[in-house]
Amino acid sequence: MRFALPFLAWFALGFLGILAMAARIGLDGLRAVEGAPQVSDGVLLALLVAQPAVLLAVAVAIGVAVSEKAGLRSWLTARLRGDPLPLVAFPSVVGTLALTTALALVALVLDVLFRLAAPDAFVGLPGPDLALAPRLSALLYGGVTEELMLRYGLMTGLAWGVLKLAGGRAAVRRGGVMWGVIVVVALAFGAGHLPALSASVEPNLVLVVRTVAINALLGMLYGWLYWRYTLEHAILAHAFTAGVFWLAGPLMAGLAGLA
């Protein structure tokens, strides 16, 4: 039960994000993608949900199995196991939200600078969709499912593997190992946003660099929060970033004359 309960709980939460993402894309949107298989709606829906569900299951299994061995923690996992709970205190949550707000504003400023420096590169790029489905997808898939895949799965697995290989030297170089893993996973997180970019506009070098750089910067924050606090801090920060973007993004674009 030490594995099964936290695995099922995290997978269920992550699967809600997959369903929200599927609702956002929709069958019509998926059929519009070049090379989409010509199959029935039921099969297409299964394909839309099955692939990320498998990735989610693998990631959650890695996180539940070896996160503690890598020195990484989750409040929910510890709670379901009856272990001593890692600290998720009010001051640390407020600090996470403040740091997230600051870095999200930095990300918005960087986006504005890219747009001002190379406005032609952004021609045709659609603005943010503020309808309910995209917002739910950003909160559930972005905030929860992506963190489970990237931080709880990939970051945990890489950290555990590298620390295991380091053996007795791990204690000396642990900080460097963790920062290296955080950066690698953050870059993977940034690159993971390129397919969505390609689906909305013909990508160019400026858009690719801007997309990877801004998301990698935010991914480093989420990874650091997971390392220094808990996975829940990373999830909270990721979801809260979307809220800052919704509120401050149009205002900042207006001030820069881009609205």
What are φ and ψ of residue 68, in 5° steps? Answer: -65, -35
Domain spans in the chain, listed from the N-terminal domain onward: 4-255
User: Which is nearest to 145 in space by CA: 136, 85, 216?
Assistant: 136
3-state secondary structure at position 194:
helix
- Contact status, residue 214 vs residue 202, Cβ threshold 8 Å: no
| pTM to 2 decimal places | 0.90
For position 183, what pLDDT does the model report? 97
Distance in angstroms (rounded) separating the CA atoms of residues 139 and 239: 5
User: Which is nearest to 198 in space by CA: 19, 27, 34?
Assistant: 34
Going residue by residue through the chain, which has 259 residues, state the pLDDT in tens, using 9 for 90 and above: 789 999 999 999 999 999 988 887 764 555 444 455 555 555 667 777 888 999 999 999 999 999 999 999 999 999 999 888 776 666 789 999 999 999 999 999 999 999 999 999 998 888 776 677 778 888 999 999 999 999 999 999 999 999 888 775 545 467 888 999 999 999 999 999 999 898 888 999 999 999 999 999 999 999 999 999 999 999 999 999 999 998 887 776 666 566 5
User: Which is nearest to 52 in space by CA: 101, 18, 21?
Assistant: 18
Distance in angstroms (rounded) separating the CA atoms of residues 227 and 178: 8
For position 87, what pLDDT does the model report? 64
For position 172, what pLDDT does the model report? 44
For position 40, what pLDDT does the model report? 54
For position 12, what pLDDT does the model report? 97
